[in-house]
Structure 1
């Protein structure tokens, strides 16, 4: 008898608890295949950008002088036809003559000679090359004018090719993703957080408060964006925090106006008036009724703001106010790739793939969130 009563109590409690609007929105979002796939793609890109450079054998600023603008390839460098000319060039710079050369798999051996005594430090010329390592010299002749040198052929992989300075493009693309995603997402979230709260408060309170708050927005609109960024550069210097503050502190103005317009419409709805009649304070009405019902428009604007922020970052970097060498971003890589598209198309293709994949994913996620948070579907 007691167990039956307990079961009834549990069923009654679950029936009273019910489901929240957020639970329904989550289920509708997870049922959207395009949105779920886009979330997987976005997470994969983020993981690759933040973990990939740690696993890469190349640093993002490491320069390989012998590998400038080499094409993307799954096969290792150097190619077989590159080894012999490079050996001869290196030893020519060391002012020795190659009498006999044997190139084997993974190393080479050369008999060298010179009209004067050979300095054992000649191996430094070989080690400075990007193609060889672990050079050693031995088997000197009696007059030390001939000797034998050997070195290992250094195997390198450039899956995305290299740029115009001989830096690994894969590592730089992943590092650029860190910069673009960090600036784009964080600046967007700051702009949305400020704009939603500011616009909702302005639209809901109305009257003189609304008039004063909107005039402040108009004043900020009148300030040139570049002038505002230059002021931040003077005070804070060039760093990621600057980009984050500069973009986020300006882009919230559009969001504030959008949310204000939605709030002016929502505050006349019956459910808001009912909440006011029940004695809910202004903060409670904004938190539970106004702001949640503006999220559909907010999400749509967010999907447009992220690529806008990424492009703004690229524009500022071009002017010398943003990301500076050797650090990079997707926008900077695409700008550089577009100038070399005829002879080195891979410099444009790979950063563009990452950028477009991210933007498509954000758009599909935005559409899914818009449908999930649409009050008409609840």
Structure 2
């Protein structure tokens, strides 16, 4: 039998290290659940404020610190007092108030002719809408007014200013995720380039560059924050770009350590022997091979930056009104936790779930990318 007659085995396609890491990550249930949670958070932060029925900055003065409820407001026992209170400054007497379904009917009398523009007093109230005069007496001093009852639902309640807490949590998720991604991106770019350059060049250049990092480590962080607020004001984007420019120190040290171990590897020495320049070696060989630890550190840096923003907002140095973040909401909820506990509970739960998801995803990536566990 000749060699041509022998059956040939089908070629088996190999898997790259990244494909293997992805398969290992998908088998980690906690990491996959965390990934789904983060996707839902991202969707809620981007789309939620646009589709939610309440705007995060709209103030409902008649609903200050109302508790969370799935039943629409106003309650039945507040409709009549609310109508009387709305017309208290209109110089009319409210003789009768009848509530039928979603309509309230008021019998009015006055010592002089009733102005038809009196309907504005009810329209300005959060309890009523579409107020109109349906009947007027012959002398103009009596009238019958009708108005529709405005039904509003606050699933998480309202804050101390009467703003919908759910809408504010949605926009705070957007702000917190934006700040975390923005500051982490800045730290990633500066830290990877700085650490890879210091580790690859080595010698005196490495010593000088890392001494600069040590000096920056020794300075108190709150000092940086005060300087950033002085120079950038209340511009949250610029301020947290600068915060990311401070948070790159840990990233630089991690990348430098990985680069020191990689620069002695055979493929790097082979590239040097072929005449490849230092910049090309960094771009093609060093940086791609340190992405595993960098990705893991990124998942841990994002919650760190979010907690930092919450801390700064709690002190009044972060996000300012009318925008809000989870730190701002928690700070406000802590001041009102006795008479309005929902103001503290719901933002705290939102932040806790977000931080748990980020940390579980980081643990899953660490396990998937760990070469010793393959």
After TM superposition, the score normalised by the length of structure 1 is: 0.89
Deviation at 1:291, TM superposition (A): 3.8
Structure 2 residues not aligned, in runs of 5+: none
Deviation at 1:60, TM superposition (A): 0.7
CA contact (8 A) 2:314 2:330 kept: no
Number of residue-to-residue matches in the alignment: 370
Find the aligned partners of 1:206 and 1:44 in 2 and give their Cα distance: 44
Q: Where do residues 260-275 of structure 1 align in structure 2 (5 Å cutoff)?
A: 260-268=256-264
Q: CA-to-partner distance for each residue in 1:215-257, whole Å, 9 max, x for gaps?
A: 3323433555444445444554432321331211000012112
Find the aligned partners of 1:238 and 1:8 in 2 and give their Cα distance: 70
Give the stretch that moved more between structures: 232-241 or 149-158.
232-241
Larger helix fraction of residues: 1
CA contact (8 A) 1:77 1:157 kept: yes
Find the aligned partners of 1:73 and 1:320 in 2 and give their Cα distance: 30
CA contact (8 A) 2:98 2:106 kept: yes
The correspondence for 1:73, drawn from 69, 85, 101, is 69
Is 1:132 aligned with 2:122?
A: no
CA contact (8 A) 1:76 1:155 kept: yes
Find the aligned partners of 1:298 and 1:43 in 2 and give their Cα distance: 21
SS in 2 for 1:44: helix
Deviation at 1:114, TM superposition (A): 1.4
After TM superposition, the score normalised by the length of structure 2 is: 0.90
The correspondence for 1:152, drawn from 148, 151, 164, is 148
Which residue in 1 is equivalent to 2:139? 143
Find the aligned partners of 1:372 and 1:60 in 2 and give their Cα distance: 40
Structure 1 residues not aligned, in runs of 5+: none
Is 1:35 aligned with 2:31?
A: yes
SS in 1 for 2:148: strand
Is 1:360 aligned with 2:361?
A: no
Is 1:218 aligned with 2:214?
A: yes
Find the aligned partners of 1:273 and 1:119 in 2 and give their Cα distance: 91
CA contact (8 A) 1:228 1:246 kept: no
Deviation at 1:342, TM superposition (A): 1.5
Q: Where do residues 9-158 of structure 1 align in structure 2 (5 Å cutoff)?
A: 15=12, 18-158=14-154
CA contact (8 A) 2:300 2:362 kept: no
Find the aligned partners of 1:188 and 1:155 in 2 and give their Cα distance: 43
Which residue in 2 is equivalent to 1:309? 305
Is 1:191 aligned with 2:187?
A: yes
CA contact (8 A) 1:243 1:313 kept: no
The correspondence for 1:161, drawn from 153, 157, 161, is 157
Q: CA-to-partner distance for each residue in 1:114-173, whole Å, 9 max, x for gaps?
A: 122222221111111000011111322222111111100001010111000000001100
Find the aligned partners of 1:73 and 1:49 in 2 and give their Cα distance: 22
Deviation at 1:301, TM superposition (A): 2.9
SS in 2 for 1:139: strand
Which residue in 2 is equivalent to 1:331? 327
Deviation at 1:288, TM superposition (A): 5.6
Give the stretch that moved more between structures: 318-327 or 24-33.
318-327
CA contact (8 A) 2:229 2:239 kept: no
Cα pair distance change 1:288/1:26, threshold 3 Å: farther
SS in 1 for 2:318: coil
Give the stretch that moved more between structures: 289-298 or 165-174.
289-298
SS in 1 for 2:88: helix
Give the stretch that moved more between structures: 266-275 or 58-67.
266-275
